Amino acid sequence: MKENKLSGKKKPILPPIDKDSVYAEAALPFLLILVCLSVTLVAAVIDRFIYPFGNELLSPIILQVVVILLPCYLMILIISPDRRAGAQRHSIGFGKLHVEYIFFIIFSAMFMMCTSLVLSMLFGGTYSSAEGYTLLGVFTAGQNEYTTSIPYLLITYVILPAISEELLFRGIIYSQLKKINAPLAVAVSSVISAVFCFSIGGLVPALFSALALTFVLYTTGSLAACIIVHLIFNLYKLFLETNISAYFLSAQNRVLLILTVVIAFLISSLLFFSECSKIYRARAAAVTQENQNKTSLKTTLRELWRDVRLTLSFRPTLVCAIISLIIYVAMLTIGLVT
C-alpha cells in the first residue's frame, strides 16, 4: 500500500477491477462459439441437401480454416489490441514450454489414448475403419481418402485439428473465461469441446479428452503442450483406434482384448499420475506456507454458481448461448434426418 502525500490516506497499488467489463468479456467466447456453429450449420446444409462434399479431398481443410481458424484469428485481434505477435500469443495462453515437461506430455498422451479407448468401449463410442473418420459431424473421410497420401492425412486429420481445436477451446474460450472463474472456464471449454464431436456415442470420451487437455494447459501453462498432446492423440485416433475398435467389434476372444486394454490403462495411469505427483510436489515445496491455504469445496461451488449467474446476466452472452444451443440441436437433427 502507498500513502497519498496530500491526504495521508492509503491507496491501492493496483487499480480496482471493473467487474462489469470482466463479465462483458465473457460474451466474446460465446460469440465465437456462435459464429463457429453457424458456419458449420451452413456447411452441413450445403453438404446434405445442396452439393455433397464427401468426395472432395480439400473440403475438410477448407472447413477447418473457415469454421475455426479464421474466426479464431479475428477474435484474437479483438481480445488483443496489441498487434505484436508476442502480446497476441500471450493473450491465448502460449506461454514458454519448458523442457522438464517432456515426460509429462508423453505420459499425458498415453493416458488419454488408453482411457479414451476404455471409455469408448464402455459407452459405445467405438467404430470400424469402414465407417470413416468424421470431422465436426459434417464431412467424412471415405475409403478414397484412406488411400491418399500419408502427408494429406497428417495435415487434414492430425495437424490442422490439433492446432485449430486447441486454439478455439483452450486458447480463446478457456483463457478468456478464466479471467472470471477458473472452474467455469474448465467446465465451459470442456463441454463445448466435447459436444463439437457431434456424436452421442463419443460424447463421454470426448469430454474426458477435453478435461485432460485443459489439465495439460493448467499444468504446463503453455498452449503448445496441449497442441503436442493433441497431435499424438490424433495420430492414435486416425491410425490405431479405428483398427482396435474394428477388432473389438469382431474379436472372438474379447476377454484377452479387454485384459490387454486394462493393463495398458493401468500402466499409462501409473506413469501419468507419478509424473503429476513429481511436478506438484516440486511446486508445493516452492510455495510459502501462507499461500497454501485452500478454499473449501463449498465456497468454490458457491463462487462458481455466482459467476455463472453474473455471466449469463449479461444479455449478449445469454443470447449467444441460446442461439448456439438452437443451432447445435439443428445440427443433430440434420444428422439424424440424413
Q: Which of 30, 35, 41 lies closest to 74, judged by CA?
A: 35
Average pLDDT, the chain: 78
Using one digit for the tens of pLDDT, what is the confidence trace for 300-325? 777 777 878 878 778 888 899 999 99
Using one digit for the tens of pLDDT, what is the confidence trace for 28-51? 899 999 999 999 888 888 877 887
Q: Can you tell me which residue has the cell 470431422?
A: 135
Using one digit for the tens of pLDDT, what is the confidence trace for 61-120? 888 899 999 999 998 888 877 767 666 777 777 777 888 899 999 999 999 999 988 887
pTM, two decimal places = 0.82
Contact 317, 26 (CB under 8 A): yes
How does DSSP classify residue 48? Answer: I
Q: What percent of the chain has pLDDT over 70?
A: 75
Using one digit for the tens of pLDDT, what is the confidence trace for 132-145? 444 554 555 444 44
Contact 60, 152 (CB under 8 A): no
Residues counted in the chain: 338
| CA distance linking residue 140 with residue 118, whole number of Å | 24
